[in-house]
Amino acid sequence: MEAIQFKGVTKNFKDGDATIEALKETDFSVNQGELVAVIGPSGSGKSTFLTIAGGLQTPTSGEVFINEESFSELSEKKRAKTRFKEIGFILQASNLVPFLTVQKQFSLVDQVNHQQNREFRDQLLNQLGIIELKNKYPEELSGGERQRVAIARALYNQPAIILADEPTASLDTERAFEVVDILAKETKEKNKATIMVTHDTRLIDKCDKVYIMKDGQLKAK
Ligand SMILES: Nc1ncnc2c1ncn2[C@@H]1O[C@H](COP(=O)(O)OP(=O)(O)OP(=O)(O)O)[C@@H](O)[C@H]1O
Ligand SMILES: [Mg+2]
């Protein structure tokens, strides 16, 4: 099944009198069980593409389908629900809550879902090598550690779709490969659809498809 589909999607930003075409007319799809990489230079439109895919921004024109349902036709309430239930975001800024410890970051997910799974949480923290940081606050962590907490939190909610924006940006090479391995494993074993935006072309071997973003134009590599 197509987890995400773009039909003729564009995104423009106004910059004074000028218009920035951050995303030119784009058709795209990713299926369940697929790990897709989007590479390309800074400012080319990768984050714009990813945030539209996850419904965090609306397109200027065209349509986005999530699990074969038109996202724009859902009410804002349903959209928010779909975003929370179906999509795990790993964004460029890790978006941890500053006044919560690492383990409390997961309680937020528990509250919404009315259930908790400490065993699974600790398994993820172990896999990502951050279990010993459980009681620390985000400000006490390095950039890479924060990023790994954000990854664990995104996976903890068991989303059908994972959207990761530079998930390996502040990690050393070994950790970066580990993170891609975890994403690949989650995608294959749990039949998720994953889009990973990255600058790092060394990481794309584990991906099923690679797209290049250049000046707002997405092309298959
Ligand atoms: N909210 C916004 N308002 C105005 N312009 C924007 C906005 N968001 C993005 N842009 C512009 O759209 C273009 C694409 O930006 P985007 O953040 O998608 O690039 P990117 O490929 O993710 O870059 P990076 O690799 O640096 O993260 C850039 O020219 C950027 O300045
Ligand atoms: Mg970006």
Total residues belonging to the chain = 221
- pLDDT above 90 covers what percent of the chain? 76
CA dihedral 55, 139, 128, 67 (to 10 degrees): -10
Whole-number Å distance between alpha carbons of 5 and 65: 5
Between 143-156 and 102-113, two packed helices, what is the crossing angle to 10 degrees?
20
DSSP letter for each residue of 128-159: TT-GGGTT--GGGS-HHHHHHHHHHHHHHT--
- Which residue minimizes the CA distance to atom 8 of ligand 1? 48
Q: Ligand 1 pocket test: which of 9, 17, 44 has the largest number of ligand atoms within 8 Å of its C-beta?
A: 44
- Which residue minimizes the CA distance to atom 1 of ligand 1? 13
pLDDT score of 143? 85
The strand pair at 217-220 and 209-214 is best described as antiparallel
Instruction: Decide: helix, strand or coil at residue 120.
Output: helix
Between 143-156 and 118-127, two packed helices, what is the crossing angle to 10 degrees?
140
- pLDDT band (50, 70, 90) for residue 17: very high
Whole-number Å distance between alpha carbons of 162 and 183: 8
Atom of ligand 1 nearest to the CA of 41: 25
Task: Please give the mean pLDDT across all residues of the chain.
Answer: 93
- pLDDT band (50, 70, 90) for residue 154: very high
pLDDT score of 196? 97
- Phi-psi bin for 45: left (phi > 0), alpha (psi -120 to 50), beta? left
Q: Give residue 42 CA to ligand 2 midpoint distance, Å.
A: 7
Residues with CB under 6 A from ligand 1: 13, 20, 22, 40, 42-48
Of all ligands present, the nearest one to the C-alpha of 45 is 1
Whole-number Å distance between alpha carbons of 81 and 46: 24
Of all ligands present, the nearest one to the C-alpha of 12 is 1
- Amino acid identity of 108? L
Query: Taken in order 4, 9, 14, 19, is the CA torsion positive or negative?
Result: positive
Of all ligands present, the nearest one to the C-alpha of 14 is 1
- Asked whether the predicted pLDDT for residue 95 surpasses 90, the reply is no
Q: Give residue 77 CA to ligand 1 midpoint distance, Å.
A: 27
- Which residue minimizes the CA distance to atom 24 of ligand 1? 42
Nearest residue to 54 via CA among 79, 74, 26, 27: 79
pLDDT score of 73? 84
